[in-house]
Amino acid sequence: MKILSIQSAVAYGHVGNSAAVFPLQRIGVEVLPVYTVNFSNHTGYGSWRGPLISPDDVREVITGIEERGVLGEIDVVLSGYQGGEGIGDVILDAVARVKAANPTAVYSCDPVMGNAKSGCFVAPAIPVLLRERVVPQADIITPNQFELGFLAETEPDDLASTLAAVDRVRDLGPRTVLVTSVERPDRPEGTIEMLAVTDDEAWIVQTPRIPMKANGSGDVTAALFTAHYRAGGDVADALAKTTSSVFDLLQRTHESGQPELALVESQESYAHPRMQFTPTRVR
C-alpha cells in the first residue's frame, strides 16, 4: 500500500506527518509525505519557528511526484490540519489527480477544527471550507465528536444523536466515518469511546480514558485506521487494531511523563496490536 500524506511537519515532537508517517511505515505502508508547514514544534507551545509552506510550493512537490509516474500506484490520499484556505484547493486537486490515475484510490480526511474543551482553534474560514468543499470529496473522515457536530450542524452527545449526526455527514459524501473522543453521558466514569460507521454497519469501542493531552494522537489514529481499513476492508477489525495501538501509545506516553508522544518507543504496538479492546456492533 502507498499513501500520499499531505500534512504539517515538526522537528521536535510528533504531530501531522511527524506523527503519522512512522506508525504507517512500521505496519508496512509506503508513505509519500508532503509537508504543508515545517515548524520547529507544534503551535500548542505558544511559540514556534519555521515556514508555512505556500500552497503553490506544496502543489509543486505533488507535481514533481506526478512527474515520476507514481500517482497510479497511490492507494490513499491522507490529509489533516489545514492551516489556510489555499491548501484545501491543493489537496482536492491532488485527490483528483490520484483518482484519475488510480480510480480505486480513496481520500481520507481528518477534518481538524478543534475539540470540546478548547473549542475551534483554526481560522474561521477553515470549518466552512471543510464542511462545504473538502468533506464532500472524502471517502473516509475521522472527526472527533466536536468536529462531527459542526459538520452535521448538530450537537451530538448520546449514541443515538451521534449516529444521526454521522448519517447527516455521510449524506454529504464520505461513506466511512470514524468518530474519536466520543463522550456519552451514560458511559462508565473514566472511559472514552470511538465509533466507526459504514454503509452497512456501525461499531463502538470503549477504553479507559488516560488523563493527558496528547498532541498528535489524532493524527496517528487517522493514519492507522485508514491503513487498516483500506488493507482489510473490515471496519470492526480496523477499529480494534487502531484502538489497541493508540491506547498503548497514550499509556506509554503518560507513564513517561514527557510532553510529546512516545511514538518510536511504541512501535511494537503498531506492528503487533494487543487487541485488548473488542468493538460492539450498534447497527
Cell 473490515 found at = 234
Distance, CA of 12 to CA of 222 (rounded, Å): 21
129 or 263, greater pLDDT:
263
| Domain region containing 99 | 2-281
Single-letter code of the amino acid located at 127: P
DSSP 57-77: HHHHHHHHHHHTT-GGG--EE
Q: What is the pLDDT of residue 165?
A: 98
Indicate which CATH number applies to the domain containing 119: 3.40.1190.20
What is the reported pLDDT for 254?
97
**pLDDT for the residue 121:** 65
SS (H, E, C) 112-160: CCEECCCEECCCCHHHHHHHHHHHHHCCEECCEHHHHHHHHCCCCCCHH
Number of domains the chain contains: 1
In the prediction, which pLDDT does 120 show? 64
Q: How far apart are CA 109 and CA 177, in angstroms?
A: 10
Q: Does the pLDDT of residue 204 top 70, yes or no?
A: yes
The model's pTM: 0.96
Model pLDDT for residues 112-155, shown as the tens digit of each residue: 887 766 666 677 778 888 999 999 999 999 999 999 999 999 99
User: Is the Cβ–Cβ distance between 263 and 19 less than 8 Å?
Assistant: yes
If you average pLDDT over every residue of the chain, what do you get?
95
Cα-flanking dihedrals φ and ψ of residue 263, to 5°?
Answer: -65, -50
Burial bucket for residue 119 (CB in 10 Å: 0-12, 13-18, 19+): exposed
Amino acid at 30: E
Nearest-angstrom CA–CA distance, 227 and 246: 14
Residue 66, strand partner residues: none
84 pLDDT above the threshold of 90: no
